[in-house]
Amino acid sequence: MAFRRGYRAELELVEFLKRRGFYAVRIPVSGSKNIPCDVLAARGSDRRAYQVKETSKDRVYIKEEQVRRLVEFCRAFGFKPIIAVRWKGARANKWSFFEVNEIKAIRIEKPTLMDYQD
């Protein structure tokens, strides 16, 4: 059985959020024009909608139109729009999270060990 690309990353994110006290669900019809997010999560008044990307490359690009759809969905339902990137093959720092504050194309770089030193 072939899985949709990113499916495992979405499930991993749901478990990651649940371990941190969130109620989290994967949206099975995500990626459609009407539902641009892959995972919804809530903990008290903190409500988040995640668009999940998974890559083995050092960066990921999100087109402005994808960002616009995510932000508009979140505004309509009162969620924080967040891009979650799962870095395939990473032993540490497997996830990066980027809260979207404006509608524009986004480029997210894979973090390096230097990014986490004091």
Fold of 7-116: Trna Endonuclease; Chain: A, domain 1 (3.40.1350)
- Give the active site residue among 30, 32, 56, 96: 32
The Cα-based distances of 23 to 10, 77, 87 in angstroms read 14, 16, 24
Q: Is 45 a catalytic residue?
A: no
Q: Where are the domains of the chain?
A: 7-116
pLDDT tens digits along 25-60: 999 875 566 789 999 999 999 999 999 999 999 999
pLDDT in tens, 88-112: 987 777 999 999 999 999 999 998 7
Return the amino acid letter for 31.
G
